[in-house]
Amino acid sequence: QQQVKQSPQSLIVQKGGIPIINCAYENTAFDYFPWYQQFPGKGPALLIAIRPDVSEKKEGRFTISFNKSAKQFSLHIMDSQPGDSATYFCAASMAGNQFYFGTGTSLTVIP
């Protein structure tokens, strides 16, 4: 059973656009929701993370929106650039011991 559902599987946007990637979870015991960015042949890099006591977190051009009642969270990338082209994984964790990853979204930003 997929603990974290991620959509879309792939996404193509023009430079300057705002891609949005969505994730949903069922287990209300999750208390940490990170996003990872992965370039081909590289390991995932922690991008931004949120805890369920806040509804939004911004770091530079990256924003997480969190809806606790709907059990959904999303990543928004403002003013997207070709260098943002990568695979993005959402994840959820309880007590930090094990991460449940979404299936990934392949983002392509066209110049």
Partner 1 sequence: DTEVTQTPKHLVMGMTNKKSLKCEQHMGHRAMYWYKQKAKKPPELMFVYSYEKLSINESVPSRFSPECPNSSLLNLHLHALQPEDSALYLCASSQAATTYEQYFGPGTRLTVT
User: Does 45 participate in binding partner 1 (rule CB under 8 A)?
Assistant: yes
> Applying CB under 8 A, which of residues 30, 35, 36, 66 lies at the interface with partner 1?
36
Tell how far CA 3 is from the center of its chain: 15
Q: Can you say whether residue 59 is alpha, beta or left, with left for phi > 0 and alpha for psi between -120 and 50 degrees?
A: beta
User: Does 96 participate in binding partner 1 (rule CB under 8 A)?
Assistant: yes
Amino acid at residue number 3: Q
15 vs 68, beta carbon nearer partner 1: 68
Cis, peptide link before residue 111, omega less than 30° from 0: no
Q: Which residues bind partner 1 (CB under 8 A)?
A: 32, 34, 36, 41-46, 49, 87, 89, 93, 95-99, 101-104, 106
